[in-house]
Structure 1
Amino acid sequence: MIHDSLQLPIANSNKKGLIYYCMWVWSLLITASVVLSPRLGESGFLKYIRIDDILFPVTAAATLVLLYSLRPIKKIIVAFLYLYSFNAIVLLVTHSSGLNNVTLLEKSLPFLKNIQYLIYFCFVFTFAYRISNLKNYQQVITSIFLCFIPNLFYGLFQVSTFNFSGYYGLGILNEISPTLAGSVFYFSIIICNLIALIEPKGSIKCFWAFLGIVNFIFVALAGSRGAFLASIAYYVILISHQIVNIRTLIKPFGKTILSVIILFSLVCFTFLVIIPSFNTGYGGINEILNQLPNRYLELNPTNIEGEARLDNWTNVLSMYAGTVNSFPLLALFGLGSGGTYEIFGVLMNAADSQFVYVIVTGGLIGFLLYLNALSKLYAFKKHKIPNNFLGLKQTFISLFWSFIVFSISQEVFNLSKTGGLFWIMSGLLLGVICKQTKLNQTFPII
């Protein structure tokens, strides 16, 4: 009888363990496909399809099965669904009214992608909520970083040979775009620093902090101004949260901080002095040092008239204003999902700003819905957990605001790598924050 009574708890425990590991593997697969998957084609509709898009139906089905676990983030989900549904309804109305130079399916792509990335957030949140202790969380975050290692080594190869594959400088395995390449290294910075915050050993903590600095250098070398400014914003915000406890930080980790400073100096000295002294056969560092400073100097406010992005914003908003003059109600409702595609008559992310995209696609109402959705997401920082618990709250706040900085110059919620990785990272952070709030105690260290 005793043996029979123990069978059910053991079976339930084994079942929960199996579900946990299956969700872990699937979260890794989603992240790897977002980071590493190439486009399935170079032209036509396949240009916008990746492996993670093929995996999406399974992810969505699994999330529906685990729907009961999403109650803590119900307000976030509902707020973003209101925004996306509003844009979809407006799209149907404007498309049926004759604004149909681009097909309905093509203009629906941003809506479908936004729903897809929101599902990623829900799935990863339910997985992170199941993490039971600090050791498991450290294993999960470290395993997620494995998805970034191929591009890290590829970046080191490009730096060591000066054979850069990106459009302006450093590229990644499946992209030459500076924005997408820079965004991968930007998220790698966040993961490295999160692991450094989790790791109790000073020497290993130093290694991960140093790796974050290497990724920061790679962001700069990629030539993405948006990713570079977002990375700076991330570090500034994260450090500002830690500055209050600077005395307590320096005492136990003084040697670690000194080691990071020394290693950072050695890296800069190697990149800027030692390596350029060799004849690499690829034109040395001169070519890349000539391109990138010019790229960043374009941000000079005295030359703002020549800034291409400002021209894009002006053109998109001017075209939208012209449409509003003909149909005044569009000032309230916008053009709907894919509205920027309608303006240019082709399938392209040409707004070059999430804020410009939101205004054109949603008008005044859509913009207010967008702000409401962001406020619901950011409200999670109010959860009462120890501020020093793994640095999760500080990491989420830094991620959120640095991503907002990124969104000034890119449609980051719509792009494959930026949108997907932001929601995956948010799920990994908020799932544990929510679990910590419920338990009202720190994870046991095993």
Structure 2
Amino acid sequence: MKRKRILLSLLSAAVLLPACSGGGGEVKPAGTSAADSQNKPKEPVTIEFSTGLDASGEMTKSIERFNKSHTDIQIKYVELPQVPNEQLTRYTTWFNSKSKTPDLLMTDVIWPKMFASAGWIAPIDEYVNADYLKQFYPAAVDVAKIDGKQYGIQGWIDVGMMYYRKDLLEKYNQKVPTTWAELEQVAQEILKKENDPNLVGYVFQGAKIEGATINWLEFLWGNGGDVFDAAGKIKVDTPKAVEALKKMQGLVQQSKVSPVSVATSNPNDNQIVFGNGNAIFMRNWPGSFSTLKDTKVSGKYDVMQIPHFDGGKSTPSTGGWVYAINSNSQHKKEAVEVMKFFLSDAEQKSMVLQTSKLATNRKALTDPEVASKQPITQKAQTMLETAKSRPALRAYEQFSRAMQTEINLVLNGQKDPEQGIKDAQKEIDKIKE
């Protein structure tokens, strides 16, 4: 009996031995192996992407296309209000609390410097090289180039352009002007011959809004000036800046080709005046091109580059939104992959066709189908090559408010340009940049 018990013990040990060998004492279920565990599909990385409400629905469709074509990354769309200030409030709350999401976001063109200075967005230089960036228009890259580092790329772009009544220029055998002096001369000639009390020469944005700053910048840049001195500090009290504001004032108070009402007007006001056939020239954005087709000037207008001073060059200002990466994101590499998808030829082309927004991707904007369905894109291409982004300032809004106030006072005849520029500089000097 004793010998039998010993034999049974040995047999039991032999049965248990394979289960104990291999370390850890783990018993694998029947039909599984270590290789099976390693081959188990990984969960996709979720990238939270935030941007303002897209009424066209194109952004939602683009995200759907990405999610269907990718198994390793999926996009979660975080839709924000359309109003930029409300978006800024959300971002400020998230980033001040060190939130890891959203991973990818879109910022207004005036925010990258502020976000980068606060440490909210991350440089993307390790993910994009010079060859990659060449496919975009210069302003779309420069807008997020901060202190030598690339903090994002513009996703869609606006560019300032001059609308004109081609029927009236043809009627009086006038050439399309390229300088401000020529525009004044053409406008005065047509106004004299039309003798229509409801017709004005040129309408632009002169109310105490961002548009006033943008218009002044285009005059300044077209005069070879800038808002930075040689040391990189904000310096608007310069001869060229004064000349730019003098020209704006002169259009209203000297040549009178612009009505005094421009001092209270915004882009929509200008579009209504032009659309009713009551202006020869108008400074506005690309969006007006299609809207004007349903007005009294349908078929009678075209666009040209923003005029410049003699010896200068046309330098329109840009608007639009920029892709950037949250510096606290745990998935920066994947977020950049999503950004590159949105910036690809195919997605940018679809955006232009479905929303009429201008692509920052050259290939998409020059696509033959885009050119045939969105004629404004052909005109915009040349403008985008010389366009500039508004100054990259951490406190851009304070800078702009100072300029808006003084520009408006000058246009209203309450100050002369020299004093307006000096007072603007005083306010700007108070900004802690």
TM-score by length of 2: 0.23
Larger radius of gyration: 2
TM-score by length of 1: 0.22
Structure 1 or 2: more helix by fraction:
1
Structure 1 or 2: more strand by fraction:
2
